[in-house]
Amino acid sequence: MAACPLSRVHVRPLMARCPHSPSSAGAGAGAASALAARSGTGRWGPGAVVGCATRARYASCRASRIARVSSILLIVASLPDSNAGRSTAMAPTSSEPRTARGPPAAQLSYCDPVARSSAARASSGVSTASQRILRSAATQPSASPQRIALTLGIEEKFDHVLQFTRMYHEKMKACVPLPRIEVKSGPVQENVQQGDRVNLLDFPAPLLHEKDGGRYLGTGHLVITKDPDSEWVNVGTYRIMAQERDTAAIYIGPGKHGSIHKEKYFEKHKPMPVNVVLGGDPLDWFAASCPVPAGVSEFDFAGGLRGAPTQVIRSDITGLPYPADAEIVLEGEIRPGELREEGPFGEWPGYYASPRSLEPFIRVHRVLHRHNPILSCANPARPPHTLTLLRAITRSAHVWEELEQAGVPEIRGVWSHEPGPRQFTVVSIKQRYPGHVKQAGLIASQCFSGGYQNRFTIVVDDDIDPTRIDDVVWALSTRCDPESGIDIQRRCWSSSLDPMIHPDSKVWLNSRAVIEACRPYEWRDKFPEVAETSPELRNRVLARYGRAFFGLH
């Protein structure tokens, strides 16, 4: 491994892998955020510049394919042109400390989707072809079921998000975790900073929201910890705020597996080793974002989804693994009793919910990175945002699986709606016995995949599409008796990100409603029929008059 300065750092959006990459770790999709370029004078550059998550080694991907399968990290308000000034959201104030900006060595530069290693674009503009890609990405959602399907290697066709959720559910059910394989070396070891040479400020830590309390290196990343009492290696996604050359604050919510590991180490008065991966295969990040059960490593879960074991290198500093094909790796430890201010940060519920507070921080002992590494970012904000579709699909599928594992039959669909990807879950069932509705609702609201910060769980009949909010509201309005059909659960699992918890509270509990919006089981056969055209009559009319007659295509 060689020690060399960073010449360029590219920003990698999440969430789809490049389908033509030999290592299946290429293009990403999902983050639209405000970033700023550093100029050679140490001040922010005259305009924001963007990076597509495609490296030169994946040059077989053409621009049209990249535009189709991955979203571009956009800074629409500050794309460079001859008249553009600095992005006001990203321009540092005169009072902003030097440590928040870092030295000028690390540059955010525009990256053409086809020629990853081409010379940096002039700050006065970008190519016409690239502008077309940016405009295309700006008018499309930053994530889609099709892009997530590429990441998961799902090739079957589908035309409905619930159909794709069912596909992922079936893939997850068939997934057998594959133990990770240790290798001796990998591309991430191309460069090393250790000891006094460690400098996190070499990397562009973006200010993702204008009122964030700092710049966040870790948003689309991996945090790797190990249970001190077993061989269980956990991979989570806990936000990380840049602080100084060799320290970074970390926030881990209560009840999360990383938090449980930390508490165990601190109870033994020991520091917790930790590796942080800033950029890598989006499938690893996908797995880390899923509610994988305790005792199962997300690396092994990702290997099962991939169909091939995750290749990792064991750190000789922390003893923990990290992916051999990672972009940037931080190796360090979190010590008991050491706290620094962290936050606030615009989080996935859509608020700066957790106030600035004292949190643990990572002492970084070594940094590894590729040449010209790609830094992954994700940008939560007011929903729907770049992560809500992914969260909705994964959470729905995992709740679906836990319902089936608990023995609840005839689950026809589960959907966690994007404006509330944890707080608003709808379960569709075909009723088979008295109490079936209540059973499904209670389990969905409290199981591991569905319990964290849940607010409303609604159970509907199988004629209701749980993904259609108008269907769900109709069922609520016509099949729910509020006096008997709503149960309130109290003192449930929540977090400091819950905007309904008072900022002075130290107890992060909430209440939640389980709502029955189904025909009453005991007289469901006498419930009024739905006033709608039958499929048989609809087909006869369309066959006689044609779809165009009714404005259908």
Tokens for 225? Answer: 């910890």
Contacts of 466 (CB under 8 A, 6+ apart): 162, 413, 414, 415, 426, 427, 428, 460, 472
In 3D, which of 221, 222, 187, 206 has the Cα closest to residue 73?
Answer: 206
Write the DSSP assignment of 78-114 as a string of letters: G---TT----TTTPPPTTS-HHHH--TT--B--B-SS
For residues 389 and 140, the answer to whether their CB atoms sit within 8 Å is no
Is position 347 annotated as part of the catalytic site?
yes
Number of CB atoms found within 10 A of residue 409's CB? 13
Nearest residue to 20 via CA among 112, 114, 109: 114
Q: Which of 297, 258, 301, 257 is nearest to 283 (CA)?
A: 301
228-231 long-range CB contacts below 8 Å, 24 or more apart? 228/261, 228/264, 228/265, 228/268, 228/270, 228/272, 229/264, 230/295
Pairwise CA distance, residues 281 & 415, whole Å = 26
Write the DSSP assignment of 4-66 as a string of letters.
-----BEEEE-S---TT-TTS------------PBPTTSSBPSS---B-S--GGGTTS-HHHH
Query: Do 233 and 272 contact (CB within 8 A), yes or no?
Result: no
Length of the chain: 553
Catalytic residue among 331, 347, 402, 516: 347
C-alpha distances out from residue 411 to 261, 415, 485, 488, 517, Å: 34, 11, 19, 23, 15
Give CA–CA dist 204/185, Å, rounded. Answer: 26
Q: Any long-range contacts for 433-441 (C-beta under 8 Å, 24+ apart)?
A: 433/521, 434/521, 434/522, 435/521, 436/408, 436/409, 436/410, 436/521, 437/516, 437/518, 437/521, 438/487, 438/514, 438/516, 439/408, 440/403, 440/408, 440/411, 441/487, 441/514, 441/515, 441/516
Active site residues: 347
